[in-house]
Amino acid sequence: MPNSNNSTRTAGLRANPDLIAAHLPLTNFFGKDGASFDPWWWPMNSGGSLEDYGLDSRTHREYGSSLRIGPPDPRLSGCRGSIGALPGCAVIITTRPSSGSYPGNSGIMVQAVSNPNAANPGPNIHITDLVKFRGIGGDAAFDRGVDMGMWKASLDCLFAELEALEPSLILVSKGASSAIFSWLPRSARKSAFGRWHDQLSTQHRQLLGRLAICPVVPSLTPKYFGGPDEAERVRRKVIAEYHQHLSRHL
């Protein structure tokens, strides 16, 4: 785990020990529900090593296959992910991990939003998920295969992240916003677990209520229905919307 000064260095970044502590309980879920539902969080840089996830390669080597670690991608060097941000940062909350590998389709968007000039380290931006477990389906199926234990572990982690960072700005992706509202008592459209709202702690309910009033932004993996030109147009539009919000913060 973190070294003697309770931090991990990687590619010019120093992991925030409070954020590492927030994510460590998720390691208890690795391998329990099949690889498709193993937990996942945004690494520093491109996730090319366990250290990018705040883990120690000497003691957490078995998590490498679950995290689907691939070759380092220098274009993402300086991305702070979910463990490298500092207090007062901007926070981007997406829906849930992809069922594929990181950086995958999100790489270009993450680079453009969190490290547009390949600075090392990049801007003080924290990227994280509402649901910490990858699984089947996209935003419309955010709760598929996720049980209450996973939900509570996810919300505990997110609460600890925000408490440690006290962010100056929180942006919530459209998919995450839909998931949040499905949990709220006033929602007409419940998630598969929304009817279990009463099982959430007061802390969880307050967290969801706080996130429900945050600005909503598009997904970091936007959908498009044409060829390369259409994909580029949609990508530029989404990036511009993020930068419009972040410009006041950065």
pLDDT in tens, the chain (250 residues): 333 333 555 557 899 999 999 999 999 999 886 667 889 899 999 999 999 999 998 999 889 888 888 888 888 999 999 999 999 999 999 988 877 778 888 889 999 999 888 888 899 999 999 999 887 655 445 566 777 888 899 999 999 999 999 999 999 999 899 888 887 766 555 555 555 667 788 999 899 999 999 999 999 989 889 999 999 999 999 999 999 999 987 7
What is the structure's pLDDT at 238?
Answer: 96
Is there a domain that residue 211 lies in? yes
Is there a domain that residue 26 lies in? yes
Is there a domain that residue 47 lies in? yes
Is there a domain that residue 238 lies in? yes
Read off the tokens for 59.
């003691």
Is there a domain that residue 114 lies in? yes
Q: In terms of Cα–Cα distance, which of 174, 172, 191, 192 is closest to 182? A: 191
Specify the number of domains making up the chain.
Answer: 1
Q: In terms of Cα–Cα distance, which of 118, 130, 121, 233 is closest to 181? A: 130
Read off the tokens for 27.
């390691």
158 and 165 Cβ atoms separated by less than 8 Å:
no
Read off the tokens for 238.
């989404």
Is there a domain that residue 4 lies in? no
Is there a domain that residue 1 lies in? no
83 and 121 Cβ atoms separated by less than 8 Å:
no
Look at the pTM and tell me if it is higher than 0.85: yes
Distance CA 224, CA 170 (A): 25
Is there a domain that residue 2 lies in? no
DSSP 65-104: HHHT-----GGGTT--TTTS--TT-EEEEES---SS-SSG
Domain that residue 34 falls in: 9-246
In CATH, what number is assigned to the domain containing residue 160? 3.40.470
